[in-house]
Amino acid sequence: MSGETLSPSPEARQAIADVIAVGLWALDTRDLELYLGTYWADAVFSEVAPDGVHHEWRGIDDIRAVSAARTGGPTGRQHRLSNQLYTPLPPASTAPGPAAREGWTVWAYWMTTVRHPATGEAVFEMSGYLRDEVECRSGEWRLIGRHLDAWPPGLAHPLREAAARAEDVV
């Protein structure tokens, strides 16, 4: 690892954070085109659903198809990320010699809340971890890969347990 950069420059880190934030804001405001604009055309989106089934969509057209239904979900949904960890993006090729590319993998925990339609109360919806692969091309940062892993429903979540305990007290 000697000589390897272990953290993006402050400018790159801010640009990466902006791309991720714009994408999540676009999901929450149901702006499909803005959301898709955070991906490169050859990007890959994959997820492991709460039931353990792995899904993968390759290219912007496939990402559009799966995302269209998701941006039409309940209003009042909010995505939140925390504990972001940046690691260097692996080389683009396994061929001998380095395949030059500028990019980072951003690991984070995510959770979503949604407003209850009758009460307006923010309700915890689901959580998991995220692995975003962000690449800079001609000075512009976008997602080249996003992997979502949902927290399995059978696995106790500390937030869910804490909320249940708080409800018992009230």
Q: Which structural domain range is residue 62 located in?
A: 10-89+102-169
47 forms bridges with which residues in the sheet?
55, 148
* Reported confidence tier of residue 90, pLDDT bands at 50, 70, 90: confident
Residue 95 lies in a domain: no
Tell me the per-residue pLDDT of 18-54, one tens digit each, with 9 for 90 and over.
Answer: 999 999 999 888 899 999 999 999 999 999 887 788 9
Say if 76 falls within a structural domain. yes
Res. 114: pLDDT tops 90:
no
33 inside domain = yes
Residues 6+ apart with CB under 8 A from 37: 22, 26, 142
pTM of the model: 0.79
The reply to whether 140 falls in a domain is: yes
38 domain-assigned = yes
DSSP 3-state assignment of 125? strand
Domains contained in the chain, number: 1
Q: Which two tokens stand for residue 20?
A: 């991720």
- pLDDT computed for residue 1 by the predictor: 39
Helix or strand (DSSP H, E) at 26: helix 10-28
Query: What is the tens place of the pLDDT at every residue in 91-110?
Result: 765 544 445 678 999 999 99
Residues 6 or more apart whose Cβ sits within 8 Å of residue 132: 20, 105, 106, 108, 143, 145, 146, 147
Section 119-147 average pLDDT: 91
For residue 29, what is the domain's CATH number? 3.10.450.50
Q: Does any domain span residue 73?
A: yes
In angstroms, rounded to a whole number, what is the distance separating the alpha carbons of residues 48 and 7?
28
